[in-house]
Amino acid sequence: MAVSQIQEHTNRQSQIRSPIMSMKAVNKQFSGVKVLQNVNIELFKGEVHALMGENGAGKSTLMKIMAGVYQPDAGMIVYKGQEVHWNNPMEARNRGISVIHQEISLSPNLSIGENIMMGTTFKKNRFGLIKWNEIYEKAGHVLKSIGSNLDPRADVSTLSVAQQQMVEIARALSLNSEILIMDEPTASLTDKEIEKLFGIIEELRRKGVAIVYISHRMDEIFKISNRFTVLRDGQWVTSGPISETNPKNLVRLMVGRELNELFVREKNNSMVRPEERKPVLELKGVSDKKFVKDISLKLYPGEIVGLAGLVGAGRTELIRTIFGLSELSNGQIIMNGQQVHIKSPIEAMKLGIAHVPESRKEQGLLPNLSVIENILMAQLPTYRKFKLLQYKKMNQDADRYIEELGVRTASKEQNIMGLSGGNQQKVVIAKWLSIGPRVLLLDEPTRGVDIGAKTEIHKIISKLADQGLAVLMISSELPEVLGVSDRILVMHEGKLRAELSRDEATQEKIMYYATGEVK
């Protein structure tokens, strides 16, 4: 049955069936700030329901209410024909509601198997000892069902972000849920892994599972969804069959205005470099102990260099080596014409190198602190005078960064986790700008960010380059690399395969080199 036929069939069925869950006129506020107002959504068995909206639109809050993390201030939740009031996430989970979170929430010091089976009863033998072989066998079965060959006995701390995401998916699928919430599940996956996930989603749909799918990738939404709901500024805008809309209309509904195209950086004429122009950062034959192999490159002030490649190409490892997070085994790092030895991030920061990591939650933010504390943490010692903090200057600087980067927050004292993903990312960027860097290393700076916030971040990056920063940016989204970069470097299996100018770069050429073709 074709996709259009499936959608038409499920649309007809939706009209005669009762939803497995409906949320009606839901309201929620935090610290007096309304984040949801009269929001409605209906979920049907065997359907994929796309929940759309910019970051900050209220999607995550609505899902947390559905999953029992928050309780609504007003409105009702009807589940299987009965009004319900979840007191905690475990109560919702026990009733058949599971969540695959955008931010990975695994226990890094436990094994893959323990993480997958966490929350279930671990069987014991007659001596009272846990039957670990049975735990690993069950976990291995779930992993194989999603096409993963990960060892259930391996520690989660040894996994890449993409591998951890697959474990998150396996954990949710192990619960045999009736409603499955997927919040940006493909953000860290390769194309091959995404295709596997779509196959799993189709199988779950056939079994009657209701799936809530949150993604900012329009091609995914129109490939797998049956219905959609759009939120904007915490309010319900519309719902309907996905077959009755199109990407342009969805974007208009999400942002409340026409958004003709993604940000495209104006051509930087200074990239035609005179001989006397000197690089701010140069690598000569740089290798680490495992992933990076003989990388040489130059980074000039005022330019954005895109670093493209498939997952596992060594892009993140290269940036970590430059920033002193991974040990340099061979080669030279040269800053402003002088060789430097960077053995830690502190040394990198002193040299004027800043690093925005790929995982905001795990590596970029302190989740228990406020917006102002996260912005100023990298430079906190500089605000001391006679062992006392200069609060007036701290507030002034924080206000300046919030205004310059357009951080939308109720207050600079607000907890950082109360911000949308796009605004959290702006805070991470602000934190590193506070050290006055000359080189900015960006690892997937718009991952999990909606189209509006993505455009804002692109403009921020471009403005920083125009002010003289040298920017090295990793992105797995080729339109982003092509739109923002002045030059593009392509990696494959730890090696630099190609350097493309802005004019000659295309998606086809980048993929040609990213898949292993030699320059």
Interval 288-306: pLDDT, tens: 988 899 999 999 999 999 9
This prediction has a pTM of 0.59
pLDDT tens track for 408-460: 888 888 888 888 778 888 888 888 888 889 999 999 888 777 677 788 888 88
Give 210's strand partners: 179
494 pLDDT more than 50: yes
Arithmetic mean of pLDDT, 242-271:
71
CA distance 380 to 390: 10
473 CB-near residues (< 8 Å, 6+ apart): 304, 305, 306, 307, 442, 445, 461, 481, 484, 485
HEC readout, 30-48:
ECCEEEEEEEEEEECCCCE
285 pLDDT more than 80: yes
CA distance 309 to 409: 34
CA distance 141 to 119: 17
Q: Which structure tokens are listed for 95?
A: 């009733």
Confidence of residue 73 (pLDDT cuts 50, 70, 90): very high
State the architecture of 263-352+440-450+468-519 in CATH terms. 3-Layer(aba) Sandwich (3.40)
Q: Is 1-96+177-260 assigned to CATH 1.10.340.30?
A: no
Predicted pLDDT at 262:
56
Highest mean pLDDT among 73-87, 107-121, 174-188, 433-447: 73-87
- Residue limits of CATH 3.40.50.300 in the chain: 1-96+177-260, 263-352+440-450+468-519
Q: What is the CB-side half-sphere exposure of residue 490 using CA atoms within 13 A?
A: 25
Arithmetic mean of pLDDT, 491-498:
90
Arithmetic mean of pLDDT, 65-83:
94
How many helices (H) and strands (E) the chain has is answered by: 17, 22
Predicted pLDDT at 2:
47
Stretch among 123-132, 176-185, 314-323 having the lowest mean pLDDT? 123-132
Predicted pLDDT at 456:
83
Helix (H, G, I), strand (E, B) or coil at 8: helix
CA distance 213 to 228: 9
257 pLDDT more than 90: no
Predicted pLDDT at 163:
80
261 pLDDT more than 60: no
Predicted pLDDT at 3:
46
CA distance 200 to 173: 9
Bigger pLDDT: 253 or 279?
279
Describe the crossing of helices 421-433 and 451-466 by its angle, rounded to 10 degrees: 10
- Tell me the CA distances in angstroms from 34 to 13, 239, 410, one per residue in order: 35, 21, 10
Arithmetic mean of pLDDT, 377-390:
80
Predicted pLDDT at 138:
87
pLDDT tens track for 116-141: 888 666 777 777 778 788 888 888 88
CA angle 106-111-112, nearest 5°? 65
Confidence of residue 516 (pLDDT cuts 50, 70, 90): low
Q: Percent of the chain having pLDDT more than 90?
A: 36
Q: Percent of the chain having pLDDT more than 70?
A: 89
The Cβ of residue 123 has, within 10 Å, a number of other Cβ atoms equal to 11
- Longest CA span, the chain: 78
Stretch among 49-63, 247-261, 368-382 having the lowest mean pLDDT? 247-261
Highest mean pLDDT among 248-252, 306-310, 361-365: 306-310
Query: Under a CB-based contact definition with an 8 Å cutoff, are residues 3 and 223 in contact?
Result: yes
